[in-house]
Amino acid sequence: MNQTTYLIAGSSHAAIEAVAAIRMVDPEGEVVMATADQRLPYSPTILPYVVSGRTSPETATLRGAAWLEANRVRFLAASPIAEVQPDQRQVRMADGAVWRYERLLLATGARPALPPIAGLAAQPHHVLRTVEDALALQAAIAGARQAVILGAGLVGLHAAETMRKAGLGVTVIEQKSQVLPGYFDGEASRMIEKAFRDHGIEMVMGETAAAVEAQDDKGFRLQLAGGGERAGDLLLIAAGVRPVTDFLAGSGVDLGQGVLVDARMRTSVPNVWAAGDVAQADRFLDGVKAMAGILPNAVEQGRIAGADMAGDSAVKPFPGSVPLNTFAYFGNHAISVGALDEAGAVIETHAGDGCYIRLVIAEGRLRGISAINHVVDAGLMWQLILRRIDLAPVLQDFLARPHEIGRVLMSRLWR
């Protein structure tokens, strides 16, 4: 029988940071990293840039063989887990192999969510979660003329820009009334949306697809719930993701939308942790357990899980997730941190000249900031929120010059 001290299921940010944290306190323990992926570790976040050609799968490897070797990680590619048996402390892989573990980390991430669209199963379409997806999409773009993208999230908008630049006609259909829902406030979203419209992309907001059917040789026709329809020859589904948890059926691991975890990333089952896009942890601002599948959370949670798995006494519990987003589009850059629509908050907005900044302050503390074409130290703002830094003594200065005052405040906390 195969056995290991640490079994890491997954190979992206959460998995890698968990290994790094384990190695901080346990240089010797055996580590096995088993991933569904075919390749060395990479980040799904990179995929839109693979599609656009800005990078390639080869250059975008997150950690290579040298890193795995230096950290003494046994790497099992193409090894998805089929079943977890916590009572035996073992997992069964899809290929039937059984691994015993002392500590198991679930960092299996997410896979694209497919909306309920009649005829979708029969209709060729693209998603973007793996390098293979990206290469297929890239190839499809080269031979396509009219794309329809379902979803105006990061994946959808990135792809829209890439496709538009490649000369395709592009339609983006978003269920919500704004782009990048959940991350940017209405005003910022409208500016971003406008930039896409200005570049000739059709933005259909507050609309969903009801059905799809083939048309002509390789084209399709999409029926919209609102009555309209769109035709195209490239269909990209970018309607969000669902955590990969199907293999946990019957394992006893408590599931919500994802794997429910506490502040140390422990699941409901002993010796099993979860981190990253698969995990459902507390939100910082309201304490509700919610999915927050963004890269910085995966990094934080991976670190915490690894440290806790290795028994690091200095492990700091997860403070909770804060919405964070960065988005570069058509030569602009947008950043948002925290909550942006709050009752009873002091909201300061400056706009004009293609720039925009919005600050949300409640009880003298920063709750959120979003900005377009403003340099904002996003990580610094994140800390001001997490540390609940009292801004009252400098509030007017902060509202006028958040960037500089933020730097002063954090500089003072460091020496």
Partner 1 sequence: MGNAFNTITFDKGRCDGCGDCMTVCAKLPGSAGRSRLSVIVAPDRSDFELAICRQCGQPKCVMNCPAGALAKGEQDGIVRWEGAKCVGCLLCTVGCRYGGIVPHAEARQMSKCDQCEGDPACVTVCKSGALSFNRAGALYNRVGNLEDLFAPGLSACQGCNSELLIRHTLRHVGPETVVATPPGCIAGMGAVGYNGQTGTKVPVFHPLLTNTASMLTGIRRTYKRRGRDVTALALAGDGGVVDVGFQSLSGAAERGEELLFICVDNEGYMNTGMQRSGSTSYGSWTSTTPVGKRMHGKSRDSKDMPLMMMMHRCEYVATASLGFMDDYYAKLDKAIAAAKRGMAYIHVYAPCPTGWRFPSSATIETCRKSVETNFVTLWEYTPDAGLRFTRPVDNPIPVEEYLRLFGKYRHLSPEQVTHIRQTTVDKVKHLKMHARAAEEARQANDVPLKGE
Binding site for partner 1 (CB under 8 A): 13, 17, 20, 42-46, 49, 54-55, 59-63, 295-296, 299, 303, 324, 326-328, 331, 333, 335, 337, 373, 375-380, 382-383, 394, 397-398, 403-408, 410-412, 414
The β-bridge partners of 126 are: 236
Are the C-beta atoms of residues 407 and 377 closer than 8 Å to each other? yes
CB atoms within 10 A of CB 310: 22
Residue carrying the six token digits 């402390």: 89
Q: In angstroms, what CA-CA distances link 200 with 86, 170, 233, 332, 374?
A: 53, 8, 18, 16, 25
Q: Which is closer to partner 1, CB of 26 or CB of 233?
A: 26
d(CA 279, CA 349): 34
- Give least dist CB 115 to partner 1, A: 26
Q: Which is closer to partner 1, CB of 288 or CB of 375?
A: 375
- Give least dist CB 202 to partner 1, A: 25
Question: Under 8 Å CB-to-CB from 80, ≥6 apart: which residues?
Answer: 34, 35, 36, 93, 94, 108, 247
74: which 2 tokens?
Answer: 């046994």
- Give least dist CB 407 to partner 1, A: 4
Q: Which is closer to partner 1, CB of 362 or CB of 386?
A: 386
Q: Which is closer to partner 1, CB of 173 or CB of 376?
A: 376
- Give least dist CB 350 to partner 1, A: 18
Residue carrying the six token digits 């990293």: 33
Are the C-beta atoms of residues 62 and 35 closer than 8 Å to each other? no
- Give least dist CB 138 to partner 1, A: 15
Closest CA to 298 of 280, 272, 312: 280
3-class secondary structure, 42:
strand
Q: Which is closer to partner 1, CB of 254 or CB of 397?
A: 397
Q: Which is closer to partner 1, CB of 59 or CB of 313?
A: 59
- Give least dist CB 22 to partner 1, A: 14
